[in-house]
Structure 1
Amino acid sequence: MTNTDTSKDNITFFHAKSVDESIEMLKTNRSSGLSENEAQQRLSAYGPNQLKAQNRKSIFKMFLAQLRDALIYVLFAAVVITMFMGEYLDGIIIIIVILINATLGVIQEIRAGNAIEALRKMATPKALVKRDNQVKEIGSENIVPGDIVILDAGRYIPADLRLVESANLQIDESALTGESVAAEKDAFAVFSEDYIPLGDRDNTAYMSTLVTYGRGIGVVTGTGADTEIGKIAGILSQDDETKTPLEIRLDQLGKTLGKAALAICVLIFIISFFQGRDLTEMFLTSVSLAVAAIPEGLAAIVAVVLSIGVTKMAKQNAIIKRLPAVETLGSVNIVCSDKTGTLTQNKMTVQEFFTFTDKTQKIDDKTYLSAEAHLLSSAMVLASDATLENGDSTGDPTEIALLQLADNLKIDRKDLWSSQPRIDEQAFDSKRKMMSTLHQQEDKFMLYAKGAIDSLILKCKHVVEDGEIIPLTDTHKTILTHAADAMSDKALRTLAVAYKPLEKQIDREDFEKNLVMIGVVGMIDPPREEVNDSIATAKEAGISTIMITGDHKNTALAIAKKLGIASERSEATTGAAIDNMPQEELESHIGEYKVFARVSPEHKVNIVKAFRAKGNIVSMTGDGVNDAPSLHAADIGVAMGIEGTDVAKNASDMILADDNFSTIIVAIEQGRNIYNNIKKSVVFLLACNVGEVITMLVAIGVGLPIPLIATQLLWINLLTDTLPAVALGMDPGDKDVMREKPRPLNDNFFSHGAGRRIILAGILIGLLTIVAFVGGYQAKGYSPFADNIPENIHEYARTLAFLTIIGCQLFYSFSFRHAYKSIFRVGFFSNRYLFGAVVIGLLLQLIVLYVPFMTAAFKLQAVGIQEWLAVFGLSIIPLLANEIVKVFAISRQQ
């Protein structure tokens, strides 16, 4: 019965049925409505007229789901190991990090589920229905298919309707279709095609849209989930949550590190077994090394870096709902944007006007106001039912734009209304396509009429030109038509106005006869001023802006050309064209289009999915209910904070507090810098950990004594996994980051030579540590391969190894400030957090080395200035080597 069945074979397209056919199919009575008994039976059969509540998981289940992650498993393993080693503080800290991350995840999941609740609240207003031949007001949840619903201005549509009566009926469908102008409805229209866009169905009305003008009667064709808004709720409730690129990379990294740690444990233990070493000691050492190989602070560091980024972005009007969305923004290469209210100002504005005296003039601060122009604007104001006071407005957006025109032209509207009060009117009618008002001006009268130019010109016999009223000729008609066509070619909506001076009051049937044509205005919902620069910046950064709108193709294309989104008509397509192509064909041609017009919510989702299927990372912006499914389907959903509906906000990953498209570009820049900072931290941690692993494997492999014992490994790991890694994550943004192309979808932490850098740095740090270790034995006159070496000699050699490996890691952290810019160019002090982290790290080394009980706990020895100079000389080598590599890399690029 409904018109929203998801199976096309079973859909009844009521817009293609006449009023009588619809009434018959729905088995109702147009004059008396359903009986209460029949209504109750249908309510039992169809269920309440509400969107189904989403089956929400319990908080406990959501919490457990947050823990089902490879990196979390690795962290749990690290907890067990550190607890086994007696490092209870480390274990507790790791557990706290896990619990905090899981709690944040639960909070975000609860917020996401609120999208359906917001839809349900929107969709339950009161409604006037006709039952048992009486008009009753009932809760809209009790409406059933076949109910006869009464509509009047200011009332929300309670369900999907086939209109059976309409009188000057206009409905604001912007939240569903994206059109900023209220749709005019005609109950008696019948369409021959089944599949036409929602915005073109003049004989239907849809749940949660608003009657702005006129009145009407409709028969309910769909309720609850079978409405158009119900389909949106169904899309939102689908459990197809995808992981962000950062989440995917961290998950993969966790799995890799977990396997590597296990392999290291097994390898060292096997080697030690065949070498005849003390197995208890080697077990503790191998476990400690496994802990060192896993940067258990990684999750905390990423959370800290993302949180810092979120705070910074909030100050720039970009509110992030999901932390990983910050990084994903930096990967975006497609920004799909709704037109109305996002790229445009969401208010109709008069751009041009034409009179026979002024010809066509654009509206700006220098507009010359002739007598005819003054008359044209005054007529538009007087023949209007809208209001506009102190920025607050009511009524049709077109009429509001005409009031604003008068203000821009410095016309005193209050003086107009007081000097020419309205005494009679003939309301707008969709068949006449015009309205007229009669005004008294002292002892005379004036009639004003405005409407569609092709209708109004037929009522005119004269024109006003150069201050005189002269007969209307074919030449005048041609000139006027050409002026209107020129405006239409720019996608401007045209509206003509005429008047008639009268000596006495006349009857309504004579209102629209022998009129005098004044001129025509052209208006449009104009682009936001700042959007052009933002789109140009995005283009330079390799980001394509795509317009997706429910508006007409010509209007959308005109705005797209002004903004630099599209240049050719072939770059625009419509929802109807998408309906005629399979999803596979849409995916193959998706790159050809920059503008998608007259689209439905399903089309938006399919478009987003098609872009993603081609390997793009897609951001979708929007503000209406109709945008919510595509916001949900995109990699990053961006909702408007001021004009956006609660549904759109809850379905999004980010909210623009200022509704400014340019804020998205700022957020993308921040996202890129944040990802770079995360990558710096990850690569630094892994390089340090590889250095520790190389040190231990080489020493054990060649038969050397153990260069670092378990407690020393844990200290090294704790030191490098905290201060320097977090400080790198707080690095200031690179001002050149928006000159780079977006990261490919398959990019990872090891791309662009980072993996090679980790291995080479690890090898260099490991070998330098071995050099310091072996040098310690030789300085005391011992061979490290000798038997019966005194324990104090082992401690001395391990002290040098311990100081060297930490020194290498601390100094080497400076080279991670930029992948190819030298630290001498970037500056040692431009990241004061990193400089402070290195200083604190060195001070902690002094404490460990020279506080007696700390020295004893870590089995170290205090050393003199000569040893410190040797350690410094070895520690600075990785930093200098990396800077030399950067110089050669830059010279090759040039």
Structure 2
Amino acid sequence: MDFSEFTGLTTSSIFTELQTSLTGLTAAESNARLKKYGENKITSREVTSWQILVRQFKSPFVYLLFISFLILLLLGEMIDAFMILLFVGINASLGFYQEYKSESAVKLLKKYLVAKIKVRRDGVETNIETRFLVEGDLITLEPGDIIPADVRFIKTYNLTADEEVLTGESQPVQKFADPIKKHIKEIYEAENIGFSGTTIAGGKAEAVVFATGGSTNYAKIVELTSGAERESTFEKELGRFSKFTLLVVLATLIFIVVTSVAIKPNPSFIELALFSIALAVSVIPEALPVVTTFSLSIGAVSLAKKNVIVKRLSAIEDLGALEVLASDKTGTLTENKLTIIDVYSKDKDECILKANLASGDLALSRNVQNNAFDIALSVKLDELGGRYRLNLYEKIDEIPFDPNRRRVTVVIADHTDTYIVTRGSPEDILAICKLSDKGRKKLLEWTRSMGEKGKRVLAVAECKLNQKDAKDILKCENNLKFLGLITFSDPIKESAYVAISSAKKLGVRVMILTGDSPEVAVSVARQVKLITSYDDVITGSEFEELSVTEKHKAVEKYQVFARVTPQQKYDIIKLLQEKYSVGFLGEGINDAPALKISDVAIVVDGASDVAREASDIVLLERSLKVILDGIEGGRKVFENTSKYITATMASNFGNFFAIAIIAPFINFLPMLPLQILLVNLLSDFPMIMVATDNVDEEALTTPKRYNLRSFATSALSFGFISTSFDFVLFSLFVKHGEGQLQTYWFIESILSELLFLFSIRSQKAFFATKLPSKPLVYLTIFTIILTLAIPFTSIGRNIFGFIEPNMKGLLIVFAIVFTYLLSNEAVKLFLRRLASKGLALRG
């Protein structure tokens, strides 16, 4: 049935149509329906092994090589044609292997990200994974939940839903449970329907599932937009850098062709074309996507072991760039394991009872923060022996906790009377209580004194209602009877002290944006040494009164913002982003706006669905330290990717310019097309393992941002040194003929590129830095041995055109390579001194 057909049905008619009841489906029936209709999920287009393989050949440079292959085939050069295919095959195999491993890592991480919903089956409510929902299931929806299927509401409590994903309307709409008499055609008219993919903005509801998976309205939209992909900052920068490289290559190739035609009497255009194609391919860092993806997947798996789950791989790069980390203190600096230590009330038992009656279902609540209060209140009620009294009351209506109202309100009834009970922040509850100014002031002073000790306080109030008043809770929230103040202790995490210290070492500014009172926020922040005095905190209301200029100054000055609203969190993040890369850690529906605009959105496991949906990273452990581990991991990925870009581009540009300049002025090619491709293949082989390399601690102390223009500057600078040494080798061997020049240049090109990588691994001298990773060392040694061995083999001589090197020639090459290494070290240390003065070329 279409959703419009359910809008006019009564609850009993819906139950009849879907063959269910108020007790829900039986376990047997739900299993039968699951088997018949399948899981409640929208089939996504997963990347297959075949697609990964095909992707390896979708490159302009592979196309160029295929053109070379066809030319050689037409000329009858079968061996050369076969070798080009072999080079393409080997490169594709390496790329496929690393990308396949990366895709497997991403699939593994997705298993940690499981959405759950409260469902009633066999008369018992339980939490299940949303993919196991079936038609006829009865579910409970709370603020922050993303509706997991198309549902018809049968009970609502001040319910509003955000349907922007379907209608484009950003304002939440009111939802009801009553049947609609007129025929409904449009989504925006269906006031008693909850659509899959939309979000519960406020209130609470019970609903019946009538469509799942591909049958939902949301599935139709997803099908139309499934091809859209988000492009990361790094990918955009890489695209710009690629265009720059292509322009340099094109200009150089034009120079080669023009000068060759002008200088040489009878140039071979076929040979010139093959040489130009090979030279163009040699300068492109075609392994960069593989190295980057491999680095990110290694980082993602490593972070997963530390309870940090990455939803998108590129978020690891963004983590490394973080300069500011904003977070609520709850559960990241404190344990969020509350214990009641005092009750300020004339009737403590009654105060604890009524606070419990305003609690949710402890076993099923998905609101972690409120659940901590509920658990502490439940434990205290057991200590007082009052558990049996809960059964004397029935909950009639409820307004769930709202971060703007800072309280939860329920309507309850016993066998004689109806009551409204509310609990929340003392400032907000006391403002609606029937108290004298003196009495209210005394209670607020007591609350502040507890806050200064780092204790959290809840206020509880009530009043009797008549049946007429019970229909509008909001109107009844005034002149309430004050019941008491409940004080909770929330110990500081041991890891918090280490985390704040680590943040300072990493150059990350930690800020607290909390709904707690300024007294509590200051107490916690001072204990972990984040701030030193009360002057380092500002409240949301004080921040709101500032001018725009003053707000800019405030976000620079203050580390702690207390009693902030969701809008104020959003505004603070927005202001910070004008100068910094900002990460935000949140968990509730109120955090979603700030999460969506932050550079890295982080949530804890158990966060609301809408917060999880907006996140880039999910923490399985509620700790600031694990985030900082992630930042460190992101910086390691940055450093290793930077090593590859700088090493391969400097060497490639160096060889490219040297060969391009020399080629038109001699009667033979300084390096044959196959030799150029072999250099490219062998040098890239160990380079892929740079993703596994170790990183100096000093390299992790500052935020990292990709600036590929700076990489280009470094590559050209070091490339000039490489070109200079290539000219030295040319001048020594050109007089001995093409065989010797090509052989020794081949050896020198690979050895110099590999050693250059070990030089730029660190800003320190190469012998004083952290030891390289074993995979990198082993593959480098293997490649060096293979490079020296190839010219001595018949394949090297007959297919690649090398000659057998002699000891004197090899010693000259070793001397050039060693001198080249020392020269790079000197330039690197010089650039480091410039960097310390703020004049670094590399960003």
Would you say same fold, with TM above 0.5? Answer: yes
Aligned to 2:561: 595
Map 1:407-806 onto structure 2 (within 5 A). 417=385, 483-487=446-450, 492-493=456-457, 521-523=486-488, 528-549=493-514, 564=530, 568=535, 571-573=538-540, 577=544, 591=556, 594-595=560-561, 597-600=563-566, 608-612=573-577, 614-628=578-592, 630-640=594-604, 642-700=605-663, 702-703=665-666, 705-723=668-686, 725-740=687-702, 742-743=703-704, 747-751=706-710, 755-778=712-735, 780=736, 793-806=737-750
Q: Does 1:328 align with 2:318?
A: yes
The change in CA–CA distance for 1:810 and 1:227 in structure 2 (over 3 A counts) is: closer
The change in CA–CA distance for 1:624 and 1:89 in structure 2 (over 3 A counts) is: farther
Q: Does 1:821 align with 2:764?
A: yes
In the TM superposition, residue 140 of structure 1 has moved relative to its aligned partner by 8.4
Task: Provide the aligned C-alpha RMSD in A.
Answer: 6.0
Q: Does 1:141 align with 2:151?
A: yes
What 5-or-longer segments of structure 1 have no aligned partner? 1-32, 41-52, 129-138, 144-148, 152-156, 162-196, 199-203, 208-219, 357-374, 407-412, 437-448, 461-474, 498-516, 781-792
Aligned to 1:146: none
Question: Does the 8 Å CA contact 1:342/1:623 hold for their aligned counterparts?
Answer: no
Q: Does 1:832 align with 2:774?
A: yes
Per-residue CA deviation, residues 838-871 of structure 1 (Å, 9 max, x unaligned), is: 3212211233111112222111111221111111
The change in CA–CA distance for 1:282 and 1:633 in structure 2 (over 3 A counts) is: same
Question: Does the 8 Å CA contact 2:353/2:390 hold for their aligned counterparts?
Answer: no
Question: Does the 8 Å CA contact 1:124/1:158 hold for their aligned counterparts?
Answer: no
In the TM superposition, residue 596 of structure 1 has moved relative to its aligned partner by 6.7
The change in CA–CA distance for 1:158 and 1:272 in structure 2 (over 3 A counts) is: farther
Match of 1:538, as an amino acid?
A: A
What 5-or-longer segments of structure 2 have no aligned partner? 1-6, 15-39, 73-80, 118-128, 141-148, 162-170, 178-189, 203-216, 399-406, 413-420, 462-481, 838-843
784, 790, 797: which is aligned to 1:848?
790
Please give the alpha-carbon distance, in whole angstroms, between the structure 1 residues aligned to 2:136 and 2:53. 34
The change in CA–CA distance for 1:568 and 1:314 in structure 2 (over 3 A counts) is: same
Farther-moved stretch of structure 1 (664-673 vs 75-84): 75-84
Aligned to 2:168: none
Partner-residue secondary structure (3-state), 1:821: coil
Question: Does the 8 Å CA contact 1:552/1:598 hold for their aligned counterparts?
Answer: no
Partner-residue secondary structure (3-state), 1:159: strand
Aligned to 1:272: 260
Aligned to 1:160: 160
331, 339, 342: which is aligned to 1:349?
339
Match of 2:376, as an amino acid?
A: A
Per-residue CA deviation, residues 645-688 of structure 1 (Å, 9 max, x unaligned), is: 45544443222222322111011011111101100011000011
The change in CA–CA distance for 1:770 and 1:862 in structure 2 (over 3 A counts) is: same
Match of 1:637, as an amino acid?
A: A
The change in CA–CA distance for 1:664 and 1:703 in structure 2 (over 3 A counts) is: same
The change in CA–CA distance for 1:743 and 1:385 in structure 2 (over 3 A counts) is: closer
The change in CA–CA distance for 1:589 and 1:265 in structure 2 (over 3 A counts) is: farther
Taking structure 1 as the reference length, the TM-score comes to 0.61
Per-residue CA deviation, residues 121-143 of structure 1 (Å, 9 max, x unaligned), is: 89997489xxxxxxxxxx98334
Aligned to 1:243: 231
In the TM superposition, residue 834 of structure 1 has moved relative to its aligned partner by 3.2
Per-residue CA deviation, residues 765-798 of structure 1 (Å, 9 max, x unaligned), is: 22323332332244x4xxxxxxxxxxxx321222
Please give the alpha-carbon distance, in whole angstroms, between the structure 2 residues aligned to 1:249 and 1:733. 23
Partner-residue secondary structure (3-state), 2:746: helix
The change in CA–CA distance for 1:777 and 1:492 in structure 2 (over 3 A counts) is: closer
Map 1:334-373 onto structure 2 (within 5 A). 334-350=324-340
Question: Does the 8 Å CA contact 1:261/1:294 hold for their aligned counterparts?
Answer: no
Per-residue CA deviation, residues 339-380 of structure 1 (Å, 9 max, x unaligned), is: 544455445433567899xxxxxxxxxxxxxxxxxx97x998
The change in CA–CA distance for 1:684 and 1:434 in structure 2 (over 3 A counts) is: closer
Partner-residue secondary structure (3-state), 1:270: helix
In the TM superposition, residue 728 of structure 1 has moved relative to its aligned partner by 2.8
The change in CA–CA distance for 1:874 and 1:325 in structure 2 (over 3 A counts) is: same
In the TM superposition, residue 294 of structure 1 has moved relative to its aligned partner by 0.7
The change in CA–CA distance for 1:569 and 1:848 in structure 2 (over 3 A counts) is: closer
Aligned to 2:21: none
Q: Does 1:91 align with 2:33?
A: no
Map 1:293-312 onto structure 2 (within 5 A). 293-312=283-302
The change in CA–CA distance for 1:250 and 1:776 in structure 2 (over 3 A counts) is: same
The change in CA–CA distance for 1:834 and 1:334 in structure 2 (over 3 A counts) is: same
Match of 1:859, as an amino acid?
A: G
Please give the alpha-carbon distance, in whole angstroms, between the structure 2 residues aligned to 1:777 and 1:478. 94
In the TM superposition, residue 488 of structure 1 has moved relative to its aligned partner by 5.2
State the aligned residue count. 683
In the TM superposition, residue 702 of structure 1 has moved relative to its aligned partner by 4.4
Please give the alpha-carbon distance, in whole angstroms, between the structure 1 residues aligned to 2:85 and 2:334. 58
Per-residue CA deviation, residues 231-278 of structure 1 (Å, 9 max, x unaligned), is: 7999x9999975333222322222222222322322211121112232
In the TM superposition, residue 205 of structure 1 has moved relative to its aligned partner by 10
The change in CA–CA distance for 1:555 and 1:54 in structure 2 (over 3 A counts) is: farther
Aligned to 1:444: none
The change in CA–CA distance for 1:850 and 1:246 in structure 2 (over 3 A counts) is: same
The change in CA–CA distance for 1:450 and 1:268 in structure 2 (over 3 A counts) is: closer
Aligned to 2:376: 401
Partner-residue secondary structure (3-state), 2:299: helix
Per-residue CA deviation, residues 14-45 of structure 1 (Å, 9 max, x unaligned), is: xxxxxxxxxxxxxxxxxxx99969x99xxxxx
Per-residue CA deviation, residues 201-255 of structure 1 (Å, 9 max, x unaligned), is: xxx9999xxxxxxxxxxxx988647999367999x99999753332223222222
The change in CA–CA distance for 1:484 and 1:283 in structure 2 (over 3 A counts) is: closer
Q: Does 1:871 align with 2:813?
A: yes
The change in CA–CA distance for 1:558 and 1:310 in structure 2 (over 3 A counts) is: same
The change in CA–CA distance for 1:681 and 1:569 in structure 2 (over 3 A counts) is: closer
Please give the alpha-carbon distance, in whole angstroms, between the structure 1 residues aligned to 2:613 and 2:485. 43
Per-residue CA deviation, residues 598-643 of structure 1 (Å, 9 max, x unaligned), is: 534x66556544443x143222223334444543443222232x32
Question: Does the 8 Å CA contact 2:516/2:562 hold for their aligned counterparts?
Answer: no
Question: Does the 8 Å CA contact 2:512/2:561 hold for their aligned counterparts?
Answer: yes
In the TM superposition, residue 158 of structure 1 has moved relative to its aligned partner by 8.8
Please give the alpha-carbon distance, in whole angstroms, between the structure 1 residues aligned to 2:623 and 2:53. 33
Match of 1:322, as an amino acid?
A: R
Question: Does the 8 Å CA contact 1:491/1:555 hold for their aligned counterparts?
Answer: yes
In the TM superposition, residue 106 of structure 1 has moved relative to its aligned partner by 13
